[in-house]
Amino acid sequence: MSAFIEAIDLRKTYRVGKIDVPALRGISFSIEKGQFVSVVGPSGSGKSTLFYLLGGLAPADSGKVILDGEDFAALSDARRTQMRKRKIGFVFQKFNLLPTLTARSNILIAQQIAGNGNPDSGFFERITELLGLTQRLNHRPSELSGGEQQRVALARALINKPAVVLADEPTGNLDTENSNVVLNMLRRSNQEFGQTVLMITHNPEAAGYGDRIIHMRDGHIVQPEEDPQWRPGSH
């Protein structure tokens, strides 16, 4: 099977004052369509930078990101924006919900932004039920718990049936119960809806939900035994 997502020698350095801080030092890997891949590593390993580059939210200094055969860097700004709207669902550690909108509207606004003129009401009902949100859809974010807000954010990421779901520490602010709901939904979206999932996490237990685990440290991909957070059997 051909690669659906490819990272080719990705490099990214940030300027902090007068100091150059390398975040990615030549990252290369490929992901097949329909895989669930977890990227693990300690803080500062480059995981979140990788997330932003793979989602076309930031440019690489060098290297390429290929999504479904298209090179992000070679696209116009308009085409890159359309790719993000139509093909990628984002889940962030911060929920990024609009405070004046209800949970229902926070989910459905993703369809409006993507220009989806034929929303699937049955799919909306299905994912909100699976995420335990049916009774909370008319509440605003301030009336929801942190776990409920993240579930709303996940439903928003899934509502357009994107080919790829990119999740950056989606359980970082959640308790065990809500973490399990979010992780099980990501797994279900992968297995049942056929979505390719890439999840960034520092948590080995969460990483174990993936079919495959990529370990990062100091801007490199490393072997599991080089990752001090990883322990045999921890996933």
pLDDT digits (tens, 9 = 90+) for 48-80: 999 999 999 999 999 999 999 999 888 888 888
pLDDT digits (tens, 9 = 90+) for 149-182: 999 999 999 999 999 999 999 998 899 999 999 9
Is 199 inside a domain boundary? yes
CATH number, residue 28: 3.40.50.300
Query: 30 exposed, middle or buried (CB, 10 Å; 0-12, 13-18, 19+)?
Result: middle
Q: How many domains does the chain have?
A: 1
Q: Domain range for residue 66?
A: 3-226
Is 188 inside a domain boundary? yes
Instruction: Spell out the alpha helix ranges (H) of 14-132.
Output: 47-54, 77-87, 103-114, 121-130
Mean pLDDT for the chain overall: 90
Are 31 and 37 a contacting pair, CB within 8 Å? yes
3-state secondary structure of 184: helix
Is 235 inside a domain boundary? no
Are 114 and 158 a contacting pair, CB within 8 Å? no
pLDDT digits (tens, 9 = 90+) for 105-150: 999 999 888 776 666 789 999 999 999 999 999 999 999 999 999 9
Is 231 inside a domain boundary? no
Per-residue pLDDT at 233 exceeds 50? no
Is 232 inside a domain boundary? no
Is 12 inside a domain boundary? yes
Are 181 and 147 a contacting pair, CB within 8 Å? yes
pLDDT digits (tens, 9 = 90+) for 208-229: 999 999 999 999 999 876 666 6
